[in-house]
Structure 1
Amino acid sequence: MTSRTKGNLVTVLTWVLVLVFFFPVFWMFLNGFKPESDASSVTPKLFFSPTLDGFRAAFDRGMQGYLINSLTASITATVIAVLLAIPAAYALSIRRVKNVEGALSFFISTRFMPLAAVVLPLFMILKTLGLLDNINVLAVIYAGVNLPVTVWMMRSFFLEVPFEIVEACRVDGAGLFREIVRIVLPLVLPGVAAAALICFIFSWNEYFLATLLTSSAARTTPPFLGSFVDGRGQFLAVLSAASTIAALPVIVAGWVAQKQLVRGLSMGAIK
């Protein structure tokens, strides 16, 4: 088998895998435009009369409020996590603190603990303080959950910065703040964008904490999507329409930041 034949087989296999993974998303998109009878039919239907009833039903159930809550929590959590991760990653890479390995192990160990083990004491604390069903508190919790991953990602990006540049700016008399903001950050901006996008996606998709720590005022989109499956049955067309709407912000964010995402993820791949 020639190398060209192997390359063609790899290309075909790649496209097959892409289509297999993309098909559920495509089918969800189609079901969103189907009448409920066609979407719930045992026999899959590719040809149907498109309708927007599913999208209207989703917004009639107040989906816009849940989308606003998700955007508020995700954007706030991303901003907090990035602002805290930049100095932490800088201290763990360029201007190293003592016992870097221990600090990194502590950061990542917080992600090993299952959320079910901490949600009960967290629930009791928030209930005592009267902070349940609060979108700002939920955003802070999201930021804390995603902070370890953000720090780890950004540290790998900071390690790619040539130390000679940092030494040169120190010789020129640059302070710590200017060293980070004016010298280092512009060099790792694609990596910061990649870490921010990952943090945003994790916050947007979070279901467990949003279900247990909110009820109505601060409820986000993922628990709202689960409400379409109840004792009366599965409302597949409405659920597919609502899921399509819920996926759009993440898709748009990924499309806008795709260049920075690719550059940022490749930055940490050298070492």
Structure 2
Amino acid sequence: MTTPTARTPRTPPTAPPPAPKLPAARGPRRRVTALGLLAWLTGLVFAFPALWMVLTSLRSETDAATSPPSLGAPLTLDGYRAFFGGGASPWPPLINSAGASLFATVLVLVLALPAAYALSVRPVRRWTDVMFFFLSTKMLPVVAGLLPVYLFAKDAGMLDNIWLLVLLYTSMNLPIAVWMLQSFLADVPVAIIEAARVDGARTPTVLIRVVAPIVGPGIAATALICFIFSWNELLFARVLTSVTAQTAPVFLTGFVTSQGLFLAQLCAASVVVSLPVLIAGFVAQDRLVQGLSLGAVK
């Protein structure tokens, strides 16, 4: 008989030793913090002139003209009172600027959206040459076309006419709008347009009900940029208008007189004139950022 061999007891498996704790990655955090501080400093540098303009508008003319400026000078609303209750009323120029900018922006979108649709969704032959032609119209300096435009407006009896500014602003912003909208419309899926055509939708219906909602942020960004360019235009408005069609930027030049520079009133007027553009940009900032970044990430 064979004697059974004794079994050796099994030892329970030992747990692996805990992994050593690695030190926190301080390098990326410091880099992010440094980049954040740099972004804030850059933003303050760009915003400092606007902030200084607002601060100067709240000073008296004597304190605003001191050099170096006094940071502890008392604040007052005399500049705004002089702007709204002084000699000439600022409301007609503000209304003219708003009307010309709004009408020109709407007209630009009405003309640019079909053109961008034809150059992107349904491209024409040699569409790159067409796009370069649109861009070439911006290569001519504005002052070079000032004399021909003035002579045309004089012969046509359109001097000091707000509708002349609407036509000029439309022609100036149309190339930019076509280029921007073409880049936005190029990202629209062709399958969606083909499905709408299978359902019997015609080109205007496809453009308004299918394509426009998809590129809504791009349209909003284009409209805001065209509105800002129209609102800030000075050269044509200064030469082609006098009283009836005077715009807000032209009205600001009236504060520089032979008697001197009324700095506090000028800064107060500049703040008021800048408010419509700032409000429009603040309201549409989400659409603006979304539209400008549309198609950036493929």
Report the counterpart of residue 218 of structure 2 in structure 1: 191
Report the counterpart of residue 63 of structure 2 in structure 1: 38
Deviates more, 1:186-195 or 1:219-228: 219-228
Counterpart pick for 2:41 among 16, 22, 29: 16
Shift of 1:43: 2.5
Partners of 1:100 and 1:261 in 2: CA distance: 27
| Residue aligned with 2:178, SS | helix
Report the counterpart of residue 6 of structure 1 in structure 2: 31
The TM-score with structure 2 as length reference comes to 0.88
Residue identity in the other structure for 1:11: G
Tell me, yes or no, if structure 1 residue 72 matches structure 2 residue 99. yes
Q: Which has the higher contact order (CA 8 A, sep 6+)?
A: 1
Following superposition, which runs of at least 4 residues in structure 1 exceed 6 angstroms of deviation?
none
Residue identity in the other structure for 1:149: I
Shift of 1:48: 2.9
The TM-score with structure 1 as length reference comes to 0.97
RMSD: 1.2
Report the counterpart of residue 115 of structure 2 in structure 1: 88
Counterpart pick for 1:162 among 185, 189, 211: 189
Shift of 1:139: 1.1
Greater helix fraction, Structure 1 or Structure 2: 1
Shift of 1:137: 1.3
Structure 1: 5+ residue stretches without partners: none
Tell me, yes or no, if structure 1 residue 139 matches structure 2 residue 166. yes
Q: How does 1:1-271 map to 2 (within 5 A)?
A: 2-59=27-84, 60=86, 61-270=88-297
Partners of 1:135 and 1:268 in 2: CA distance: 37
Partners of 2:89 and 2:136 in 1: CA distance: 38
1:11-47 Cα deviation digits (max 9, x unpaired):
1111111111111100100111111111111121222
1:192-229 Cα deviation digits (max 9, x unpaired):
00000000000000011111111111111112112212
1:210-267 Cα deviation digits (max 9, x unpaired):
1111111111111211221222211100000000001100000011111111111111
Q: Alignment length, in residue pairs?
A: 271
| Residue aligned with 2:72, SS | coil
Partners of 2:124 and 2:89 in 1: CA distance: 49
Shift of 1:173: 1.5
Partners of 1:98 and 1:212 in 2: CA distance: 40
Aligned residues: percent identity? 48
Report the counterpart of residue 22 of structure 2 in structure 1: none
Partners of 1:197 and 1:46 in 2: CA distance: 35
Structure 2: 5+ residue stretches without partners: 1-25
Deviates more, 1:42-51 or 1:13-22: 42-51
| Residue aligned with 1:227, SS | helix
